[in-house]
Structure 1
Amino acid sequence: MIKKNNVSFFQVAQGVWGMKLTFVNIYMIANRRGVAKGWVLVDTGPKHSADKIIAMAEALFGVGTRPSAIVLTHGHSDHTGSLEDLLKHWKVPVYAHKLEIPYLTGRASYPPPDPTVGGGVMSLFSVLFSRKPVDIKGKIKEIDTDEGIPELPEWKVIETPGHSPGHISLFLPLNTTLIAGDAFSTTKPESAIYVLNYIKKISGPPMYFTPDWPSAKRSVETLANLQPRIAAPGHGPVMRGRELQLALADLTENFDEKSVPDSGRYVGDPARYDENGLVYVPPFKVNHKFLAIAAVTGLAVGLIATAGAKKLFN
């Protein structure tokens, strides 16, 4: 961990740094050459993170710095929450896959989360996560997946749908560094204990917000075939070397058992999209296990809230 100017961040690889913002990571990539030398921001974290991101950028690149571009792995709120605040500070282009653009221009919302998938309290709380689309019309640029991103000339754009329709990952062949977004995780994203404490455990994408499991499985296979030696995910710590390659191989071989929930809204019946947004969402299914867990969780939350209120007013 690096601490500079009262901000903490970590090094991923030469010229690549990351920062954990509550339970999600953002990354900064310094370019060695290309149309726009300088650096690029990958994802923007949850709301109210802009000041921390700006502080990290200035600790790395100097006061008054700004990126040559912002690249979004996808448009979910934990990856775009501070985007509009940052664009007030930095007048820079934003890149995303064409299938993400409806959710970044106010035209469409993502499909609902599935709180029935289990795995931890984050799944149950997923119903509280914002699905409201960001609206940055006029500032968004569609990624050319063949040509790549001009501001990242050495990095390849890898299409990794499943967690979202236009999800992308970034790969640097020079040293096989992978920025995976939410195509897979290196923690258990359904568990608050795991994500808040950065406990390492390779997993698939967050279950509660993954509406297309067949595509998610193919995306993990695609990334494993790249044989990365460094992987920087959206959720969880950086993994490296043999530990990473063995874990990715195991995840790929056992994806259905390790990553796909036993039951859930999108299991066996994925959501469908087109370039205008959401086309089909399967019906919500409630099971007895979910109702029992939800009741216990609701009771626990109520007790915590009551204790907090007593402490506040007594």
Structure 2
Amino acid sequence: MKIIELPIAFEFNGQTNTIFPSLIIANDELTLVDTGYPNFLPLIEHEITKKGYEMKYLKNIIITHYDDDHIGSLYDFKEKYPWITIIASEVESTYISGEMKSERLVQAEALLEHMPLEQLEFGTWFIKQLKDLKHVAINQKVHDGDMILQNECRVVATPGHTSGHISLYFPKLNSVITGDAAANEKQGLVIANPHFCLNMDNAKRSLRKIQNLQADTYYCYHGGKITI
């Protein structure tokens, strides 16, 4: 088994940004962790094939949490590769499937009521982005401590950014895929996008939790991997 990061560069608001979904390779089977913004499927496909892998071996997609930069292209992946198993925490699955309004949408709508005039355009656009996300059923709902991917990966509950956020720990590789529980800032682990955290106290505890794993490598969605 090995993990590689997929750097996906894109333009947003006049600036170049990069996200880093992870690809897990085990016994010729591929597992993608998070799917980028809407319409990112071709970008991710290109990065996977550029690294020498074939999309027909994509078996799973794991979603760390419900945010538009993590589930934006999930529906497109499921439509194109209907055989894939979609894995997420039980809490997040209710938002991804549309059973409940997402916490992020509730937060955004509440903030919009008190948003300064100069920020209203962005706030309105962001809410539309969240409402336009297409719902997808979750095939496998997981909980803290569950072992998945042939018992090579342990699910680590890391709430704070969202209440059902998960990270992934690989004991044999001594590596962690952090999602948004941590970001790489100047080769150090920090809380990702703190202004978006739904519970800052939980986010701080979750950051300590994955730091205490003392992994050799942390694969951060924002900022890329850190090798200790």
TM-score, length of structure 1 as denominator length: 0.59
Which secondary structure does the structure 1 equivalent of 2:130 belong to?
Answer: coil
Tell me which residue corresponds to 1:170.
168
Change in Cα spacing, 1:202 to 1:224, as seen in structure 2 (3 Å) is: closer
> How far apart, CA to CA, are the structure 2 residues paired with 1:163 and 1:229?
23
> How far apart, CA to CA, are the structure 1 residues paired with 2:145 and 2:70?
24
Deviation at 1:147, TM superposition (A): 3.3
Letter of the structure 1 residue corresponding to residue 86 of structure 2: V
- Asked whether the equivalents of residues 145 and 158 of structure 1 are also in contact (C-alpha less than 8 Å), the reply is yes
Change in Cα spacing, 1:126 to 1:221, as seen in structure 2 (3 Å) is: farther
Tell me which residue corresponds to 1:90.
81
Which secondary structure does the structure 2 equivalent of 1:186 belong to?
Answer: strand
Q: Does 1:209 align with 2:193?
A: no
Which secondary structure does the structure 2 equivalent of 1:136 belong to?
Answer: coil
Letter of the structure 1 residue corresponding to residue 147 of structure 2: G
Tell me which residue corresponds to 2:136.
136
Letter of the structure 2 residue corresponding to residue 103 of structure 1: Y
Which secondary structure does the structure 1 equivalent of 2:190 belong to?
Answer: coil
Q: Does 1:232 align with 2:215?
A: no
Matches within 5 A, 1:161-310: 161-187=159-185, 202-241=189-228
Tell me which residue corresponds to 2:116.
none
Q: RMSD of the alignment, in Å? A: 2.5
Q: Name which of 21, 25, 39 aligns with 2:20.
A: 25
Q: Deviations over 1:65-93 (max 9, x none)?
A: 23111001111110011111111111111
Q: Does 1:109 align with 2:102?
A: yes
Tell me which residue corresponds to 1:160.
158
Tell me which residue corresponds to 2:69.
78
- Asked whether the equivalents of residues 185 and 202 of structure 1 are also in contact (C-alpha less than 8 Å), the reply is yes
Tell me which residue corresponds to 1:48.
39
Which secondary structure does the structure 1 equivalent of 2:31 belong to?
Answer: strand
The gaps in structure 1 that reach 5 residues or longer are 1-13, 116-121, 188-198, 242-314
- Asked whether the equivalents of residues 33 and 63 of structure 2 are also in contact (C-alpha less than 8 Å), the reply is yes
Deviation at 1:173, TM superposition (A): 1.4
Q: Does 1:38 align with 2:29?
A: yes
**Percent identity over the alignment?**
25
Change in Cα spacing, 1:98 to 1:131, as seen in structure 2 (3 Å) is: same
Letter of the structure 2 residue corresponding to residue 153 of structure 1: N
Tell me which residue corresponds to 2:147.
148
Deviation at 1:165, TM superposition (A): 0.9
> How far apart, CA to CA, are the structure 2 residues paired with 1:127 and 1:209?
16
- Asked whether the equivalents of residues 194 and 200 of structure 2 are also in contact (C-alpha less than 8 Å), the reply is no
- Asked whether the equivalents of residues 31 and 152 of structure 1 are also in contact (C-alpha less than 8 Å), the reply is no
- Asked whether the equivalents of residues 40 and 152 of structure 1 are also in contact (C-alpha less than 8 Å), the reply is no
Letter of the structure 1 residue corresponding to residue 130 of structure 2: R
Change in Cα spacing, 1:148 to 1:76, as seen in structure 2 (3 Å) is: same
Deviation at 1:200, TM superposition (A): 5.1
> How far apart, CA to CA, are the structure 1 residues paired with 2:184 and 2:34?
17
> How far apart, CA to CA, are the structure 1 residues paired with 2:96 and 2:7?
23
Q: Deviations over 1:126-170 (max 9, x none)?
A: 664333354113x43211434322x35211111000001110101
> How far apart, CA to CA, are the structure 2 residues paired with 1:173 and 1:88?
33
Larger gyration radius, structure 1 or structure 2: 1
Aligned residues: 204
> How far apart, CA to CA, are the structure 1 residues paired with 2:33 and 2:25?
11
Change in Cα spacing, 1:65 to 1:59, as seen in structure 2 (3 Å) is: farther
Which secondary structure does the structure 2 equivalent of 1:217 belong to?
Answer: helix
The gaps in structure 2 that reach 5 residues or longer are 11-17, 113-118
